[in-house]
Structures are given as structure tokens and as C-alpha cells.
Amino acid sequence: MTKSRFKLLLFLIIVSSSYLFPQVSPDEALKFLQSGNSRFVSGKLDKKDLRGEVKNLQNGQSPYAVILACSDSRVPPELVFDESLGKLFIIRLAGNVATPEAIGSIEYAVDHLGSQLIVVLGHSKCGAISAAVNGGEVTPNIEKLLHYIAPAVKEAKSIGEVPDPVKVCVDMNVKLQIKNLFAHSQLLEEKAASGSLKIVGGVYELSTGQVKISGH
């Protein structure tokens, strides 16, 4: 291979990589999400070329944000943030809990795909939170899931009687799962300390469609 051809090949690789893996800062990523949610709430959604995006994304992905969300069918992150294919790396578990599997998935997006923002997204009237707060008989697998929410329930109950204990626990659970991300991932902790990663919480209001972001 001649030197000129080698330089051309190297240039094409760099251009291709920058297209597939653009660097979006944590603050820019957060602004994208907030703007998208504003469009969702107002009903003024961006037009999307999904077929074109399928073709463009066949060789790689570059999600600018990671969303750890609840599995609730009423809270699909792509719609809530008016985003399209390849933009959001989404992990969904009931109660938006940071299990080892969820953390591993998040680490992959941050370390290999270049995502610099993580949002732990809870929502109002969460069924998993209600089950954890109210107690009762559940299957062994659900019990394992509620184990990750239990510390938030304990903290919520420690503040005394409140009009809506589930609402209080939803907020506390988001904060708890963020703490779990830091506590159980050295990678995320180091990147956040360096400023190359931001982790924030959010709560989606079912009655309005609005996401309230906290911790930024």
C-alpha cells in the first residue's frame, strides 16, 4: 500500500469513527433530553426518518445518553424524550433498579460506546414502588427485585406519615439507585470524578408527560 493510499484509508477511518461515535458532553446530552421532553409534552415532535436511520446505523451506534428506566409500558424513554434510533442506550427493569446486570450494561455503554450521561428515570405511581411500600405476598423473583428498593422504603418511612408515601419513595428510590451505581462500579465512579460522566435522576409524571430532572 502506497503512503498516499494509507493516509486516505486512515482519514476515512477517522471520519467514520467520528460519525459513529460523536463526543457529546454530559451537559449537551442533558439539554438534548430536556428539549425532547419539552417537545413531547407540547405535542410538537420532531419529524424522523426511521428508515434512513436504520440504514445509517447498521454498522454502529453512538448513544449520547444512558437511561435506566422502569419497565412500565407508559414510560417509553424514546417517546418521552422525543428521540429516535441509536440515540439512547436504555435499560429497563421494574423499579428502575441498579442490579449487577443493569450496571454491567451501563458500563458497556459508557466505556465502549462513549455515552457521557446516565439518567436514572423513575415515574409517578410506580407499581414496583407501591408493592415495596405496601408489602404483601409476591413471587420469589419479584422479592429479589423489591430487595433493591427496600432501603428507599425504609428511609421514606423513617420521616413519618406523609400524604403520598409512594411518591416520596419514588424520589428516594431514584437517589438510592444513583448511589448504587457509584457504590458498585469503579468505572462509573472514576469517570464521574473526572468530569467525563454525569449521573442524574429524573421522575416522569404520568399525568403530564413531564420529566423533572434532579441532581445536576
d(CA 83, CA 71): 18
Residue 24: what pLDDT? Answer: 86
Given pLDDT bands bounded at 50, 70 and 90, which one contains residue 163?
Answer: confident
Residue 14: what pLDDT? Answer: 39
Express each pLDDT in 51-63 by its tens digit. 999 999 999 999 9
What is the CATH number that goes with domain 22-214? 3.40.1050.10
**Mean pLDDT in the chain?**
90
Given pLDDT bands bounded at 50, 70 and 90, which one contains residue 7?
Answer: low
Given pLDDT bands bounded at 50, 70 and 90, which one contains residue 5?
Answer: low
Which grid coordinates are listed for 124? 409517578
**Among the listed residues 61, 67, 119, the one whose alpha carbon sits nearest the alpha carbon of residue 86:** 61
State yes or no: pLDDT of 22 exceeds 70. no
d(CA 151, CA 154): 5
State yes or no: pLDDT of 2 exceeds 70. no
Q: Locate the domains of the chain by residue range.
A: 22-214
Given pLDDT bands bounded at 50, 70 and 90, which one contains residue 159?
Answer: confident
Give me the mean pLDDT over the 87-116 stretch: 97
Per-residue CA distances from 79 to 10, 74, 86, 88, 122 (Å): 38, 10, 13, 11, 15
211-214 β-sheet, strand order: 88-92, 65-69, 117-123, 198-204, 211-214
Given pLDDT bands bounded at 50, 70 and 90, which one contains residue 161?
Answer: confident
Q: How many other CB atoms are found less than 10 A from the CB of residue 169?
A: 25
